[in-house]
Amino acid sequence: MLRISKITDYGTLIMTHMAWQPERLYSAAELADSLGLGLPTVSKVLKALGRHQLVSSLRGAHGGYKLARPAREITVADIVDALEEQPFGLTECSASSGVCGLESGCRIRVNWMHINTVVRRALEDVKLADMIEPVPHVVLGAPAALPTVAASGHGDHAAALAANVHPVRGPDSRAKHPIS
Amino acid sequence: MLRISKITDYGTLIMTHMAWQPERLYSAAELADSLGLGLPTVSKVLKALGRHQLVSSLRGAHGGYKLARPAREITVADIVDALEEQPFGLTECSASSGVCGLESGCRIRVNWMHINTVVRRALEDVKLADMIEPVPHVVLGAPAALPTVAASGHGDHAAALAANVHPVRGPDSRAKHPIS
DNA sequence: CAATACAGCACCGATTAAGTACTATTTAAC
DNA sequence: GTTAAATAGTACTTAATCGGTGCTGTATTG
């Protein structure tokens, strides 16, 4: 369903937060606190980001994390790559049987790869710096409103803020971020 | 992980198959047989497609399904919409706490919506007809090769074909079609 | 040497998707 | 008119994956 995982969402959140003061050292605990996320979760994300050289870490007392590169040179695609273990690969036509060999020579795959490429490009076009200073609409393909794209979510943020200070771990904690 | 669900994958398969002879009536059993999928699964997909007016159905003996519209007028986005119950909506910044109100006014969301829009466009640009007659590269944004996009899958199709005639329901039947 | 903070690993719980089964309804053929 | 074929709908079961947590180890500072 083309959804984005929570972890990746957290990743963009954390990275964006750090991009405000790129030279500062943020400890995992501090980030967890400012963002209202669980410390273990934040740790996990930061570790993954560190393994992919998106953040650099300093161990020991007064250690912490900071961006490894300027925010201009980090793309959303980088974050996705770091946080999703499954490699960026397109759908096989279908796992099951031999349509490919039978009739179409699997042009379906070719088309899925094109779609995939476009998605990838979209992810690469948005830099972390754009997350702070909003992107001019021109950067991305579609400028104005698209028909069936829902305004989506965010209506309950105020409520969430009022209700609890720490991670919402209730029955409502499922991912509500589908892309499709 | 921005992956596409199996059901949607099946949907494109089935629709593409039917697009070869748009006027013919295909029974669910026949489609299941030719595509090597389980009959219940194919049924499920076709019913969903029917509910969204992508295929029209004829009940009773000698009934079956056919495309409800010309292949030119059916997009991949249509299929995705029909087969994914979760509405096309973008990620909230993060489900947990109040970053939005705190510092960024949630520009992150704006950017995710842009990305979402681009993805949506990519899906709308590919018509079912393109799946048979391959799309000219120009139609989609990125013409040539993109760096980190893996060639992905399809290597085991021959093996799958040789090994079994019916749905691969083994331990290997998990989705291998991540987009990311 | 003690306290702080990252690194890596392994585990557990819960949500969700995938597939299946059963029953009802409709239409064609005999 | 009855039977057979085929779709329509619903509910259920199972399995895989994600999200989250805890523990142990290592490095650095004071």
Cα–Cα distance, A70 to A112 (Å, whole number): 33
Tell whether B120 is covered by a domain: yes
Tell whether B47 is covered by a domain: yes
A51-59 long-range CB contacts below 8 Å, 24 or more apart? Answer: A51/A82, A52/A78, A52/A81, A52/A82, A54/A15, A54/A78, A54/A79, A54/A82, A55/A15, A55/A18, A58/A25
Q: A111 at the B interface (CB within 8 A)? A: yes
- Res A19: pLDDT: 92
Q: Find the domain containing A66 and state its range.
A: 6-137
pTM of the model: 0.74
Residue A109's SS3 state is helix
Structure-block tokens of residue B99? 């970053």
Tell whether B142 is covered by a domain: no
Supply the DSSP symbol for A135: P
Cα–Cα distance, A82 to A69 (Å, whole number): 15
pLDDT digits (tens, 9 = 90+) for A2-16: 778 888 888 988 999
Which nucleotides of strand D come closer than 7 angstroms to any CB of the protein? 4-11, 16-23, 26-30
Tell me the count of A-B CB pairs closer than 8 A.
Answer: 345
Cβ pair A65, A18 in contact under 8 A: yes
Could you tell me which chain A residue has the CA closest to the CA of B172?
Answer: A95
Tell whether A154 is covered by a domain: no
What count of Cα atoms within 13 Å lies in the side-chain half-sphere of residue A107? 16
* Nucleotide C29 C1' to residue A97 CA (A): 34
Give nearest nucleotide to B10 (CA–C1').
C18
Res. A25: pLDDT tops 90:
yes
Res. A28: pLDDT tops 70:
yes
pLDDT digits (tens, 9 = 90+) for A112-121: 777 788 788 8
Tell whether A158 is covered by a domain: no
- Residue A113 CA, chain-centre distance (Å), reads 21
What count of Cα atoms within 13 Å lies in the side-chain half-sphere of residue B161? 13
Torsion sign (Cα): A142, A146, A148, A153: positive
Question: Token pair 């490894």 is at which residue?
Answer: A68
Q: Which residue has the higher pLDDT, B74 or A96?
A: B74
Tell whether B35 is covered by a domain: yes
The minimum CA-CA distance between A70 and chain B, rounded to whole Å, is 18
- CATH number at A71 reads 1.10.10.10
∠ CA B82-B84-B88, rounded to 5°: 95
- Res A134: pLDDT: 55
- Residue B131 CA, chain-centre distance (Å), reads 12
Tell whether B145 is covered by a domain: no
Res. A59: pLDDT tops 80:
yes
Mean pLDDT for A76-87 is 84
Tell whether B154 is covered by a domain: no
pLDDT > 90 fraction of chain A, expressed in percent and rounded: 31
- Res B43: pLDDT: 95
Cα–Cα distance, A124 to A177 (Å, whole number): 20
The total domain count for chain A is: 1
Which ranges of chain B have pLDDT less than 50?
92-105, 138-180
Q: Which residue has the higher pLDDT, A54 or A135?
A: A54
Q: B21 at the A interface (CB within 8 A)? A: no
- Res B153: pLDDT: 35
- Mean pLDDT, chain B, integer: 70
Cα–Cα distance, A146 to B167 (Å, whole number): 38
- Res A147: pLDDT: 39
Res. A39: pLDDT tops 90:
yes
Cβ pair A135, A126 in contact under 8 A: yes
Is the Cβ atom of A47 within 7 Å of strand C at any atom?
yes
- Taking CA atoms, B149 is separated from A111, A118, A124, B80, in Å, by 14, 11, 12, 22
- Res B148: pLDDT: 39
A5 contacts on B by Cβ (under 8 Å): 1
CA-closest candidate to residue A153, choices B37, B91, B124: B91
The minimum CA-CA distance between B102 and chain A, rounded to whole Å, is 9
The ipTM of this complex is 0.72
Q: Which residue is nearest to nucleotide C19 (CA to C1')?
A: B41
- Mean pLDDT, chain A, integer: 70
Cα–Cα distance, A37 to A160 (Å, whole number): 13
- Res A175: pLDDT: 38
pLDDT digits (tens, 9 = 90+) for A139-162: 444 433 333 343 333 333 333 332
Q: Which residue has the higher pLDDT, A104 or B163?
A: A104
∠ CA B8-B9-B15, rounded to 5°: 85
- Res A153: pLDDT: 36
Cα–Cα distance, A138 to B107 (Å, whole number): 16
- Res A53: pLDDT: 93
**Residues whose CB falls within 7 A of nucleic chain D?**
A 5-7, 10, 38, 40-41, 44, 58-63, 85-86, 167, 169, 173, 175; B 1, 3, 26-29, 43-44, 46-47, 50-51, 57-65, 171, 173-175
Highest mean pLDDT among A23-32, A129-138, B136-145, B159-168: A23-32
∠ CA A112-B12-B166, rounded to 5°: 110
CA-closest candidate to residue A127, choices A22, A35, A16: A16
